[in-house]
Amino acid sequence: GFKRIRIELSVVKQVLNISVFMMAQYLLSVVVWMLFFVFIEKLGERPLAISNIVRSFYTVLILPAQALGTATNTMVSNTIGAGRQSEVLNLLGRVAKISLAITVVIMLIVFLFPRALIHIYTSDAVLIAETIPPMYVLLTLLPIFSVGAVLFNAVSGTGNTRTALMFEILTLTFYLSYMWWIIIYLQSSVAVCWTSEHIYWFFLMSFSFLYLRFGKWQNKKL
C-alpha cells in the first residue's frame, strides 16, 4: 500500500541530474523561438501574417522527423543500456535515412501544390503569393531538420543532457546573432528571415554529429 512508498533520494538525484538540463534546454529553445516572431512583428503586420502561416506548416511538416527523433532518444538509451554501444552509430544512420526519405516525400508534395495548401489558411490571393517564397525556404530547411533532430535527440539519449544543453546554448548564440542581424538590422524579406532556422539546425546538427562521432559518450552510465 501507500505505507511502502519511499522516496529514495539517490534515485531522485539521478533523475534530476538528467532531467533538469533537458528542461532548461527546452525552455531556452521555446523562449528564443518566441523572440523570432517578436522580431518579425517589428517588420509589420503583413510579414507577421505570412510567418504565422509558415509556422503552421512548419509545425505540421516536421512531425514525422520529430517523432523519429524522440524514438531515437529511447532507442539509443536502450542500446547503450544493453551494452551495445558499438551499434549506436549504425542505428543513427538507419533512422536518419528513414527520416530523410519521409521528409523528401513531404517536400515534393508541398513543392508541387503550394498554393492549394496555403489556401487552407487564407483565400487572399496576394497573401498566398507572398507566402510561397518563405514556404520554399522552409522546404530547404526540412532535410537539415530531419537529420538534425535524430542526431540531437541521440545526444540526450546517451544520457549527456548537460552536453545537449551546452550545444543548445552555443547554437542559440549563433541563432540569435544571425536573427538580430537579418531581421532587425537588415530588415530583410520574410523569406530571408526564415533562413534563421537553417542557422539553428545546421549548428545543432553539426555539434551533435561531432560529439557522437568523436566524443567520449560510450562509457556513460544511464
63-91 residue pLDDT tens: 999 999 999 999 999 999 898 999 999 99
- Band (pLDDT 50/70/90 cuts) for residue 218 is confident
Q: When comparing pLDDT for 215 and 139, which is higher?
A: 139
Joined grid coordinates for residue 151: 542526431
Bin 188: left if φ > 0, else alpha if -120 < ψ < 50, else beta: beta
Mean pLDDT (the chain, rounded): 92
% of residues, the chain, pLDDT over 90: 83
CA distance 219 to 200: 29
- Around 115, how many Cα atoms within 13 Å sit in the side-chain half-sphere? 4
State the pLDDT at residue 13: 66
**Total-model pTM:** 0.91
Contact present, 201 and 141 (Cβ < 8 Å): yes
- 107-123 confidence digits (pLDDT tens): 999 999 999 999 999 99
% of residues, the chain, pLDDT over 70: 90
- Around 183, how many Cα atoms within 13 Å sit in the side-chain half-sphere? 26
Return the minimum-mean-pLDDT range out of 15-24, 103-112, 204-213.
15-24
What is the mean pLDDT of the segment spanning 171-191? 97
pLDDT > 70? residue 38:
yes
pLDDT > 60? residue 126:
yes
- 131-168 confidence digits (pLDDT tens): 999 999 999 999 999 999 999 999 999 988 899 999 99
In the chain, where are the structural domains located?
A: 8-214
pLDDT > 80? residue 213:
yes
State the pLDDT at residue 21: 87
3-state secondary structure of 121: coil
Backbone angles phi, psi at 76, to 5 degrees: -65, -45
Backbone angles phi, psi at 43, to 5 degrees: -80, -15
pLDDT > 90? residue 183:
yes
